[in-house]
Amino acid sequence: PAEDLLLEVNNIEVVYSDVILVLRGLSLAVPRGKIVALLGANGAGKSTTLKAISGLLKSEDGEITRGDIRFAGERLNGVEAHQIVRRGIFQVMEGRRIVSDMTCLENLRLGAFTRSDSAEIRRDIEMVYGYFPRLKERTGLAGYLSGGEQQMLAIGRALMARPKLILMDEPSMGLSPLLVKEVFGIIRQLNADLGITILLVEQNARMALSVASHGYVMEQGKVVLDGSAEDLANNEDVKEFYLGGH
Ligand code: ATP
């Protein structure tokens, strides 16, 4: 094949509570080793798309009612969330969702719940500290970390699962411009150093397109535009609606 697609989402429809239709025939593809950005206004269905992939829809009474999702060629529809983690997909949730009454180290160990190779786990904890040195210095409860540190911990915890694909939901949320830059620098580095494929949902379209190779724009539950990150960054509609008109 021309491109090795790690993830393929084919024409999916997603319904919450049997009645609320949120995704209406959404399709996208993520090539192995790339960063792909998923953009769109609030409520377009970006988070729902990530949850459909990671299996987390079920816990919100959501269901894929049509279409299919394939990861490395295998169908993911109906697979339990923890099994999806075992297959190599880890979602970094919006709002970070770290366990606030556990330490950083305990949170990192949680990320490794599918693994039993303790020497390797210890080595990976050091690797995470290499990317996020501040986490090593914070020995108290994770609930007392700053917003930026919590985001770093959430990404670090994902790395502990040794994922092939990370789904990132709004990593810039609530962070100062300086921290946003730092976090995106690390996202780029993780992709380059470790070859991790990343599907990135972002309100900050400019930042997302600066690290991604390809992007999709969603409106009301489907893709309305897609292209190379460069083409999207220069697209007049994208500029007007998502890049603040500059
Ligand atoms: P945001 O950036 O605001 O999170 P989004 O593009 O990620 O936007 P989603 O969170 O996927 O959008 O939400 C898409 C639509 O689905 C919204 O109208 C939302 O109200 C609805 N929705 C999300 N979660 C649920 C749920 N658990 N039950 C019912 N409706 C939901």
Write the DSSP symbol of residue 180: H
47 CA distance to ligand 1 middle (Å): 7
208 closest CA partner among 229, 192, 178: 229
pLDDT score, position 96 = 67
42 CA distance to ligand 1 middle (Å): 8
Please determine, for residue 47, whether its predicted confidence score (pLDDT) is greater than 60. Answer: yes
pLDDT digits (tens, 9 = 90+) for 81-111: 999 999 999 999 876 678 999 999 999 999 9
pLDDT score, position 246 = 41
pLDDT digits (tens, 9 = 90+) for 12-36: 999 999 999 999 999 999 999 999 9
Question: Of all atoms in ligand 1, which is nearest to the CA of residue 45?
Answer: 11
98 CA distance to ligand 1 middle (Å): 21
Rounded Cα distance between 89 and 164, Å, is 6
Q: Is the ipTM of this complex over 0.85?
A: yes
Within 8 A by CB and 6+ apart from 157, the residues are 92, 98, 107, 108, 110, 111
Question: Of all atoms in ligand 1, which is nearest to the CA of residue 203?
Answer: 2
pLDDT digits (tens, 9 = 90+) for 213-239: 999 999 999 999 999 999 999 998 888
Task: Report residues whose beta carbon is within 6 angstroms of any ligand 1 atom.
Answer: 16-17, 20, 22, 40, 42-48, 60
Counting ligand 1 atoms within 8 A of each CB, the residue from 12, 16, 61, 217 with the most, and so the one to mutate, is: 16
More confidently predicted of 166 and 96: 166
Question: Of all atoms in ligand 1, which is nearest to the CA of residue 60?
Answer: 27
pLDDT score, position 181 = 93
Within 8 A by CB and 6+ apart from 93, the residues are 56, 154, 169
35 CA distance to ligand 1 middle (Å): 23
